[in-house]
Structure 1
Amino acid sequence: MVFPRRTALYMLLVGLVVLFLSPFGWLLITAFKDASELRALPIHWWPHRPSLGNFQQALSFWPYLGYARNSLMLSTLYAVLATLASAWAGYGFARLEAPGKRVIFGVLLSTMMLPHIITLVPTYLLFAKIGLLNTYMPWVLWGLCGAPYLIFLFRQFFANMPKELEEAAIVDGCGQIRIFWRIFLPQSWPVIATSLILSFSWTWGDWIAPALLLDDDRTTLAVRLAKGYFTQHGEPLNNLVAAGTVMYVVPVLALFLIMQRGFVSGIATSGLK
């Protein structure tokens, strides 16, 4: 009875994988099609003459690599700062004692239930008043403040670490900052990998904040790609859109493949205590 049940489970998982990957598969197929094939009826599933020309045109149609550089810089900057700030805050909530710590941590978690759309107008007015529009400083400030979910992950991970490590370090004369940098942070690589992947993908895929705070010349690839590719007569070039979107997804996939072991381990080891 075990074999049929396991086979059915595998078939279900394979079916779900095919279902989840089918949109990306169709996007990839479209990226290799000629513009005339997209307008032809009936619809052909496979391109007659697959070519890499769409990817070359997508790169040269407008400064694709320039916008990709902006996205990469912003995403990396925010990911690094948010990871470090969240790790430090998580360490404080997990290992240090202070009046009202539980209440502050509860308020921090409650902010995850606040829709991001509610803070858009106040955020824009605040950054406009202090002269930070069309700069990358908002992402620096957001990164230095950490992220509630990442703080939660680090807090849960640090809370489960043996207390003997901290006591031995204190006996050796280490302060809290040195304990954090020398002992706790090097041991938290699974959560660091999880934090880097999540924070990088959040910024890389964000469209609203760059569109609201940055001008066209300093905006990100997500904003520019959303405007699409058009001919001089205003006709959309969907094959170039597909090619540009495929290249847009590659950095996030590459980051996940490199850090997937740490990502899975970080999610598994940061559960509730």
Structure 2
Amino acid sequence: MTATATAPHTEAAETPPAEKAMRRKRRGITMTIVTTLGALLLAVVFLMPLGYGAATALKDKDGVSDPNAAVLPVSALTFEYEGEVHDVYAVPMPDGTTRDLALIEPGRESSTFVDPEDPGAGPIEWDGRWRTLEPVTGLNPQWGNFEEAWNTISFLRLTGWTLMYALVSMALTVVSSAVVAYGFARFRFPGRGLLFGLLMATILLPPAVTLVPKYAVFLQMGWVGTYLPLIVPQLFANAFNVFLLRQYFLTIPRELEEAARIDGAGPIRTFLRVIIPQSVPALTAVSLFHFFYAWNDFFEPLLYLAGNREIVPIGVGLSYFSGVYNSEPHLILAASLLALALPVAIFLAAQRVFVQGIVVTGVDK
């Protein structure tokens, strides 16, 4: 009889499930913090030029021309006393303190000041040379820059023409693109793939190639100097908009159209009553894309409206304004911020629908 020796079995200590869950939770929290900080850093870097432009728009002319000036709109403080504006200085007092006082009567060896916080206390006599005092500086945003830019640039007139151009061309391109996209998405006809490929190929065509022929045609038609060369071409759809809407239309279940067909609806009624209501996010995205494009459009309005400055959109108007006030960048930036206000407000108001409209993949039918 032989005895069999068995080696002692040692099992590796396993990590308890609670500790594993805790580790996963910590990793998730760490990734969330890192992702959030990275996104905030990118947002700060992206918005830095806009912040610098806003700060410059609030400076006065001296603050803009001074290379050593602070980034923020900091300038010497002033105080209005008895109808006159006086500079404020840091004045050392006999008791060893320093007070911010407005100089109302400068003198050689003694001067008269007044306390901006308590002007009713009356004048304060100070012995000393006021030229040795340091002026008091602080945040002093020049909100009047926006008013001056508004009045100088004829902002309401420019905004009116820009809104007309953007809204009319937006409506035309959305309608025409939606009709073409519906045809490519739902109808089968010979050569559909070839036609769609040719349409997409137009995206690769540089605008400079067709610029001269288009201008020659519109010049012969007598349209130069009007908005017709900018608006009428929008009746013939846009390849990018057609592609975006077609991809969204393909995500709409066909069962909805079949149900409408059983109820007696034709293709046009189905398009208006079924497809359009289901495609509001995509239509909103396309509308905003074109609205922002038209609002910022510069070259074509400059080309076709060069002979009629009274009807130019705001992009061209800003270029004229910049040419006249090139020595006052604070006014140029103030006018630019005014032109930027409406598109930003529209984007923020429609942000959720806009983002939903451009996400056209991964939708269950």
User: TM-score by structure 2 length?
Assistant: 0.71
* Structure 1: runs of 5+ lacking an equivalent: none
Q: Secondary structure at the match of 2:309?
A: coil
Which of 66, 70, 73 aligns to 1:44? It is 70
Structure-1 residue corresponding to 2:37: 11
Q: Give me the whole-angstrom Cα distance separating, in 2, the residues matched to 1:126 and 1:230.
A: 31
Determine the C-alpha separation between the residues in 1 that align with 2:177 and 2:315. 26
Q: 1:257 and 1:172 mapped to 2: Cα distance?
A: 40
Q: Indicate the residue corresponding to 2:212 in structure 1.
A: 121
Give the CA deviation at 1:98. Answer: 1.3
Describe how 1:174-213 pairs up with structure 2 within 5 A.
174-213=265-304
Higher relative contact order (CA 8 A, sep 6+): 1
Do residues 107 (structure 1) and 107 (structure 2) align? no
Aligned equivalents of 1:200, 1:271: Cα separation in 2: 27
Indicate the SS of the match to 1:217: helix
Q: Distance in 2 between matches of 1:272 and 1:105?
A: 23
Provide closer, same or farther for how the CA distance between residues 255 and 235 of structure 1 changes in structure 2, counting only shifts above 3 A: closer
Q: Provide the residue aligned with 2:3 in structure 1.
A: none
- Is 2:314 aligned against 1:221? yes
More strand by share: 2
Which among 220, 231, 246 is matched to residue 155 of structure 1?
Answer: 246
C-alpha separation between the residues in 1 aligned to 2:151 and 2:246?
A: 46
Q: Structure 2: how far apart are the matches of 1:165 and 1:2? A: 41
- Show CA shifts across 1:215-243 (max 9, x none): 21211110110233466xx7521111010
Residue 266 of structure 1 corresponds to which residue in structure 2? 357
Structure with a larger share of its residues in helix? 1
- Secondary structure in 1 matching 2:286: helix
Quick check: 2:54–2:334 contact (8 Å CA) kept in 1?
A: yes
Cα distance per residue 1:70-116 (max 9 Å; x no partner): 11110111111111111111101001121111111111111111122
* RMSD across aligned positions (CA): 1.8
Residues 49-64 of structure 1: matches in 2 within 5 Å? 49-64=140-155
Identical counterparts, % of pairs: 33
Q: Is the 8 A contact 1:230 1:237 kept in 2?
A: no
Letter in structure 2 aligned against 1:223 = V
1:20 to 46, 49, 67: 46
Q: Which moved more, 1:198-207 or 1:63-72?
A: 63-72
Can you list the C-alpha shifts for 1:127-158, whole angstroms capped at 9, x where unaligned?
A: 11111111122233222112111111111111
- What is the SS of the residue equivalent to 1:174? coil
Which range is displaced more, 180-189 or 60-69? 60-69
